[in-house]
Amino acid sequence: MAERHVTIGWPEGLHARPASVFVRAVTASGAAVTIAKGDNPPVNAASMLAVLGLGAEAGQEVVLASADEGAEVALDRLARLVSEGLEELPEAV
């Protein structure tokens, strides 16, 4: 399983608009990705309700993970999106 430990770069954390950007990016990646905060169990990163339920704030670390073959590139791009607080999934890492 591939994973990335990422510090949230959006000033408002993973709430409302940033969560929507993140969930759309996960869905567009085509990979089955989970996200976890702290010792909490991982949740489906393609679920808006699950992501909002994390209550992840700016500066907190989350773990993105996927067991899909070839998920390394998708996780790199998603990690960059989250860490830099981007508005859309980057084309390249």
> Over 80: is that where the pLDDT of 90 sits?
no
CATH of domain 2-84: 3.30.1340.10
Taking the model in full, what pTM does it have? 0.93
CB crowding 48-85: b at 16 or more within 10 Å, else e: eebbbebebeeeeebebbbeeeebeebbbbbbbbbbee
Q: Each residue of 40-88: pLDDT tens digit?
A: 999 999 999 999 999 999 999 999 999 999 899 999 999 999 999 988 7
Active-site annotation, residues: 15
How confident is the model at residue 29, as a pLDDT? 93
How confident is the model at residue 92, as a pLDDT? 61
pLDDT band (50, 70, 90) for residue 93: low
How confident is the model at residue 47, as a pLDDT? 98
